[in-house]
């Protein structure tokens, strides 16, 4: 089922809900539709165009904005689905400072990498190989990450997310699945996750 972007009354991105939940919000007048898919949804008595973006009619206060969870999907989105070392298609997760040398499993030490670079690098430091990155890895910031981290995407959401994230982070939103690996990317990233070769 399609998913719908929910904005606060202030236009801040809040989250992603199912189309069914979004329709209830609109029918209860708790939200208004800002973008329609053009698909008509029929109820017993009326028809309503399925929303793609809704905005709450009343501001809700979010008491705590926690850090962005470190998931494979979010990591690949941060790095644009590309290997940070060679720019090839990323298929694995690399610890910049290898875990065997005390590297942490944290946003500032994990990067998306292609399998070849990950294999070549193994448990060595970048300096050992003469490799360098364009910029050091860092935790993603910005409210857009609440949405990017869900893995749901829709080109119609992009204008509403742009004020809250960088164009680079949002690039894949407007272009379907291109730029992201086709393998499942929603598994939590835990140290030693079997799908990853964590050097």
DSSP strand pairing (47-56 vs 92-95): unpaired
Least Cβ distance, residue 116 to Zn ion (angstroms): 6
Question: Could you tell me how many residues make up the chain?
Answer: 199
Point out which residues bind Zn ion (CB under 5 A): 83, 85-86, 88, 114, 117
User: Distance between CA atoms of 55 and 68, rounded to whole angstroms?
Assistant: 23
Closest separation in Å from C-beta 114 to Zn ion: 3
Shortest CB 88 distance to Zn ion, Å = 5
- Compute the distance between CA of residue 98 and CA of residue 39 in angstroms, rounded to an integer: 49
Select 19 or 120, whichever has its Cβ closest to Zn ion.
120
Compare residues 34 and 89 and give the one whose CB is closer to Zn ion.
89
Instruction: Write down the least CB distance from residue 87 to Zn ion, Å.
Output: 7
Q: Which is nearer to Zn ion, 23 or 84 (CB)?
A: 84
Q: Where are the alpha helices (DSSP H) in the chain?
A: 19-27, 72-78, 115-121, 126-129, 144-148, 158-161, 167-170
Which C-beta is closer to Zn ion: that of 26 or that of 111? 111
How open is the CA angle 71-77-83, to the nearest 5 degrees?
100
């Amino acid at each position: 089922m399609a998913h719908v972007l929910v904005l606060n009354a202030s236009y801040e991105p809040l989250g992603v809900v199912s189309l069914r939940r979004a329709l209830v919000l609109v029918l209860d007048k708790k939200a208004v539709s800002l973008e329609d898919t053009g698909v008509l949804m029929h109820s017993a008595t009326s028809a309503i165009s399925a929303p793609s973006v809704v905005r709450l009619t009343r501001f809700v206060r979010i008491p705590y904005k926690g850090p962005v969870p470190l998931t494979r999907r979010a990591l690949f989105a941060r790095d644009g689905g590309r290997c940070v070392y060679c720019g090839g298609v990323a298929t694995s997760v690399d610890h910049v400072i290898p875990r065997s040398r005390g590297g942490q499993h944290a946003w500032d030490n994990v990067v998306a990498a292609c399998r070849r670079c990950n294999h070549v690098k193994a448990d060595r430091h970048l300096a050992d190989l003469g490799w360098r990155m364009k910029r050091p890895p860092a935790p993603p910031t910005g409210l857009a990450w609440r949405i990017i981290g869900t893995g749901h995407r829709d080109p119609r959401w992009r204008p509403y997310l742009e004020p809250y994230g960088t164009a680079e982070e949002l690039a894949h939103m407007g272009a379907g699945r291109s730029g992201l690996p086709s393998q499942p990317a929603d598994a939590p990233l835990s140290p030693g996750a079997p799908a990853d070769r964590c050097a």
